[in-house]
Amino acid sequence: MFPPFLFPILGYLFGSLSFSIWITRYVKNVDVRNSGSGHATTTNTIRQAGFGWGALVLVLDVAKGFIPTYLAVSQVDNPPYIVVLTSTFAVIGHCWPIFAQFRGGMGLATAGGTFLAVNPLAFLISLGLLILLVLVVHHSARASVFTGILVTPVLWLFNIRDISVWVTLGAGIVIAIRFLTDWNRKYRELWLDRDKAEME
């Protein structure tokens, strides 16, 4: 049985596991952050290493949010704030990983993993909100900022008022801050956001 204060540390360390960097370096001998979006993300892995490797990164990034959060939830004597801190620090670790010079990804997949750990319905609603906003805004980064801000009130409107409200609040704030760096970035493709020059 872990002391409660160790769970947020565990969350950050799990989040700092930079799978997209390691896998792309292994497959292509390149740093995934040196081209494309400049971030250690699933989409950037797909660009540089292929769809299969990108899918693997997606699963692993979800898992590194899910596992520490699930462990924090499973230890029944943990106060709720420990679960919230664990999930939030997992997302922080993904965005600013200690194992990769604090240059990581954007946090969406890892945040999704934390939502799954506390309430699968909250995960599905959050995913639906993100997809809806991307389709409406036509800009992935701005849609992600709005999702980070709106996900908690939307869950409240759906009468979901358990610990997942606080987990989404913590992760949502981190997501919104992280995606502000790409607020003015030009997107040419909705999903892979490549420039036309890259496609020619």
What is the average pLDDT across 27-50? 87
Cβ–Cβ under 8 Å, residues 141 and 119? no
Mean pLDDT calculated for residue range 70-88: 95
State residue 97 phi and psi, 5-degree precision. Answer: -75, 135
Domain membership flag for residue 197: no
pLDDT tens digits for 19-28? Answer: 999 999 999 9
- Does residue 193 belong to any structural domain of this protein? no
Residue 191: inside a domain: no
Tally of structural domains, the chain: 1
**Nearest 10 degrees: Cα torsion 191, 67, 152, 185:** -30
**Pairwise CA distance, residues 110 & 70, whole Å:** 13
pLDDT value, residue 169: 97
For residue 110, tell me if it sits in a domain. yes
Decide: pTM greater than 0.85.
yes
CA trace torsion 183, 37, 177, 173 (10° rounding): 120
Look at residue 55 in the predicted model and tell me its pLDDT: 95
Report the amino acid identity of residue 31: D
Is 92 part of any domain? yes
What are the pLDDT digits (tens) for 148-188? 999 999 999 999 999 999 999 999 999 999 999 888 877 55
Is residue 53 a part of any domain in this protein?
yes
- CA dist 79 and 87 (Å) reads 13
Residues spanned by the domain of 33: 6-186
